[in-house]
Amino acid sequence: MENKIGERIKKLRKLYKLTQHDLAKKISVDPTAISGYERGVRSPSRINAEKMADLFGVTVDYILARSDNMVDIGESSRPVMEIPTKHVPLFERLEADQEIPALEDAQEIFPVSVDSSADFALKVKDDSMAPKINKANVILVQSKSELEDGDIGIISVDKADAICRKYHRHENIVILRALNEKYDDTVIALKKWNRRCRVFGIVVAKFEYI
């Protein structure tokens, strides 16, 4: 069955470069509600449809797939709400000794929601974290030098370019695990962690890069 409502919400959300969590916060619902709308397993209430329509500058009927007109006929002067944004440096790759530049010195930048915790963005070059994070996604990263068990982090190992992996800490070892089973775990003795690894930060969101 066609999921027009979910497709439209997802399209508008991505157009304004919002994560599901960002949109949920703006219309005061749980992020699982946005996920449900987009997957077609639940429908927004009239009130939540109105909130999204006001946010994106479209009609409620467009959100609810009752009309293909994004604005009412004769209401073309209705402004589309601008989502407050900021910019962060965007990287193709991160070398082991890479420093995160000031925004004005960045070679490329990426727009994010103004309330995002991201400090920089990174283009994904492989499928090691699929299906959660896919090749050609852009991931948003909050700068941190330490990880907690279960974090998805950006880490350089043995001075190689940084990789995206899930961090698991055990009594004497750390395991860096890809979500794609085709990739092997990287196992590092805990006592050698600081010598062998550099943590750039944790992943806080992802976007499809167009």
Fold designation for 4-63: 434 Repressor (Amino-terminal Domain) (1.10.260)
Hey, what CATH class is 85-208 in? mainly beta
User: Which residues, 6+ apart, have CB-to-CB distance to 125 below 8 Å?
Assistant: 92, 93, 135
What's the confidence (pLDDT) of residue 113?
76
What's the confidence (pLDDT) of residue 106?
85
> 69 pLDDT exceeds 90?
no
pTM of the model: 0.63
Cα 20 to Cα 16, 26, 32, 112: the distances in Å are 11, 10, 8, 13
> 2 pLDDT exceeds 90?
no
Q: Are 143 and 162 in contact (CB under 8 A)?
A: no
Per-residue pLDDT reduced to its tens digit, 20-65: 999 999 999 999 999 999 999 999 999 999 999 888 878 898 899 8
Q: Are 122 and 133 in contact (CB under 8 A)?
A: no
Collapsed DSSP state (helix, strand, coil) of residue 99: coil
Instruction: Give me the residue spans of the domains in the chain.
Output: 4-63, 85-208
> 168 pLDDT exceeds 80?
yes
pLDDT bracket for residue 84 (50, 70, 90): low
pLDDT bracket for residue 79 (50, 70, 90): very low
Could you give the CA distance from residue 157 to residue 160 in angstroms, rounded to a whole number?
6
Token pair, residue 119, equals 């400090």
Q: What is the mean pLDDT of residues 81-89?
A: 71
